[in-house]
Amino acid sequence: MTQREVDLVVIGTGPGGEALATGAAKAGLEVVAVDKHLVGGECPYYGCIPTKMMVRGADVVAEVRRAAEVAGEATITPAWDVVHRRIDEQATTHWDDTIAVDRLRDAGATVHHGVGRLAGPRQVTVEGADGETTTYTARRGVVVNPGTRPAVPPVEGLADTPYWTNRDAVQLAELPGSLVVVGGGPIGCEMAQVFARFGVRVTVVQHGPRLVPANEPEAAALLAEVFAHEGIRVLTDVELQRASYAEGAFTLGLDTGEELVVDKVLVAAGRTPNLDDLGLETVGLDPHARTLETDERLRVQGGPQEWLWAIGDVTGKGAFTHVSMYQSAVALRDVLGEDGAPASYHAVPHATFTDPEIGGVGMSEQQARDAGLTVRTGITKLEQSSRGFTHGPGGHGLIKVVEDADRGVLVGATAMGPAGGEILGFLAVAVHAEVPVDTLRTMIYAYPTFHRAIESALADLS
Ligand SMILES: Cc1cc2nc3c(=O)[nH]c(=O)nc-3n(C[C@H](O)[C@H](O)[C@H](O)COP(=O)(O)OP(=O)(O)OC[C@H]3O[C@@H](n4cnc5c(N)ncnc54)[C@H](O)[C@@H]3O)c2cc1C
Ligand SMILES: NC(=O)c1ccc[n+]([C@@H]2O[C@H](COP(=O)([O-])OP(=O)(O)OC[C@H]3O[C@@H](n4cnc5c(N)ncnc54)[C@H](O)[C@@H]3O)[C@@H](O)[C@H]2O)c1
């Protein structure tokens, strides 16, 4: 066993951990960045980046199929190997993190591949693949950024089948004929639409009453309509009860009595935080917790606040890369003893990259009501705007705004449509900066843009 003393240990290099380790090393701290798999985490290798390449391919397929209605005949023969090659070569360099490791080392950090665990105050052990263990004493402290792994729903027989998770889905070289997606959240919906557009017969099994439940119900309803139109079967309010696999086929038993027989099953039913094997108990924290509670400087609450920070999905503030990066910057300032704005989560934006995209920021209408606010909402369909009308096929969408009527500011908004995640930018500024609705109403909205529909949604506030 080797012992070393350093300034900072970062356990887990998701997007935030990688950025924080880089910044701390550049600032002159002696930093060890520990990861048991790939430096950069889920986003670049198995999450955002490969899935957005899949979405890009699927969107091109859909656009070509719309051509006849607006420009003339065009045909496309979807070819998954093109998507696979882009992911393999351009996005992930064959799922190899050498570039990221070199970048961190160039910044001055030490990269240690292995499982990192807290082992008492300021102590971290790292167990390498070769079984060699190193114990680090962290003078300044420890930042944990361990992320999540796919949750496996407690369905009889499922664990014994070769089901896929997002990690398998982004590495596919060939597509199956049929697929059941278990879970209708962002991962399930993005993947379902991609695979369907490439010719896979897709069924989504969602145990709740609607798709994308973190978004407004109107957005979920519109997405369900689009999915139905594209031939994706969506089963809501359905429980998967049994799963088995034999002779190359899965059989799934539903509580409705129906049995689905398919080539493949993709489980996208939420995530489990990687907190259970982090040694949290050695510093008085609960290893079974779903999140680590943090303060506005990302210091872990209920534990050794002076030397332990947590960032990323495990903080429960929004499982998004931009949240991990945002927290990384706030925590880095605190690690370095610098002043700066505290973390604030009243305007967390998110975009689900289905077509139409669903952008959301801040509170949903229900969340605002549950928070006891005096709520007014306004909604408009994109098809009723000049831009939606001229866009034609693929132009479905909506804008919904949620106002705290007592303060006269937006506390939440949804922008769904072509480039919904981009239109969201305007609404994110309004919610973040608490721009008075009266001011938003005095603006001039360029004609005929999609974002001009925001003016109609504001006019509808009641
Ligand atoms: C399919 C999919 C699509 C997504 N698409 C988007 C998107 O479009 N936009 C978006 O904003 N977000 C998206 N996300 C979410 C996004 O990937 C995460 O929010 C983001 O990666 C931030 O996670 P994180 O920083 O908490 O850590 P992660 O990225 O999960 O990384 C954690 C790292 O810690 C390591 N680790 C864990 N435990 C230990 C340990 N004990 N010792 C050493 N290392 C350890 C892991 O190996 C991993 O490298 C997507 C996620 C998935 C799965
Ligand atoms: N574009 C993006 O920003 C993006 C894309 C993908 C993922 N993500 C992030 O990753 C996180 C994880 O995504 P996710 O879609 O796996 O999780 P999720 O928790 O958001 O959605 C999972 C869905 O599965 C359903 N479900 C759970 N158990 C089920 C069961 N037994 N049978 C049927 N349905 C079941 C839930 O009702 C839920 O709707 C998201 O919360 C999001 O923050 C973001």
137/184 same-domain check: no
Structural domain that includes position 403: 349-460
- Tell me, yes or no, whether 9 and 138 share the same domain: yes
Residue nearest to atom 19 of ligand 2 (CA): 270
Q: What are 273-289's pLDDT values in tens digits?
A: 999 999 999 999 999 99
The count of structural domains within the chain is: 3
Q: What is the mean pLDDT of residues 421-447?
A: 98
Let me know whether 20 and 136 are in one domain.
yes
374 belongs to a structural domain: yes
Last residue of a domain, one of 269, 291, 321: 269
Both 24 and 142 in a single domain?
yes
Kindly state whether residues 299 and 444 are assigned to the same domain: no
pLDDT of residue 313: 98
Which pLDDT value is given to residue 1?
86
The CA-CA-CA angle for residues 185, 187, 193, to 5°, reads: 95
Most ligand 2 atoms within 8 A of CB, residue of 164, 237, 256, 271 to mutate = 271
pLDDT computed for residue 453 by the predictor: 98
What span, in angstroms and rounded, lies between the C-alpha atoms of 367 and 458? Answer: 19
In a domain, 90, yes or no: no
- Between the CA of 289 and the centroid of ligand 2 the distance, in Å, is 19
Average pLDDT over every residue of 252-277: 98
Residue 295 within any structural domain of the chain: yes
Structure tokens at 448: 């005929």
286 and 184 within one domain:
no
Residue 321 counted as domain residue: yes
Report the pLDDT value the prediction gives residue 396, as an integer from 0 to 100. Answer: 96
How many whole angstroms from 45 Cα to the centroid of ligand 1? 9
Same-domain status, 363 and 388: yes
- Residue 151's nearest CA partner among 12, 288, 321, 267 is 267
pLDDT (0 to 100) of residue 304: 73
280/265 same-domain check: no
Same domain, 257 and 279: no
Pocket test for ligand 2, best of 42, 206, 210, 424 (most atoms within 8 A of CB): 206
pLDDT of residue 443: 97
- Identify the residue whose tokens are 């500024």: 429
Residue 355 lies in a domain: yes
Give percent of the chain above pLDDT 70: 100
Which of 48, 171, 191 best tests ligand 1's pocket when mutated (most atoms within 8 Å of CB)? 48
Residue 107 pLDDT class (50, 70, 90 cuts): very high
HSE-up of 184 (CA within 13 Å, CB side)?
27
pLDDT band for position 220 (cuts 50, 70, 90): very high
Tell me, yes or no, whether 209 and 182 share the same domain. Answer: yes
Q: Give yes or no: residues 177 and 259 share one domain.
A: yes
Mean pLDDT, residues 174-190: 98
What digits encode the pLDDT tens for the residues 362-390? 999 999 999 999 999 999 999 999 999 99
Give me the mean pLDDT over the 422-438 stretch. 98
**Is 0.90 exceeded by the ipTM?**
yes
Task: Tell me, yes or no, whether 357 and 403 share the same domain.
Answer: yes
Interval between CA 214 and ligand 2 midpoint (Å): 9
> What pLDDT shows up at residue 53?
98
- Quick check: 305 pLDDT over 80? no
Domain holding 395: CATH number? 3.30.390.30
Given this model, what pLDDT does residue 15 score?
A: 98
Residues 397-407: tens digit of each pLDDT: 999 999 999 99
Task: State the pLDDT confidence band at 303, using cuts at 50, 70 and 90.
Answer: confident
* CATH number of residue 145's parent domain: 3.50.50.60
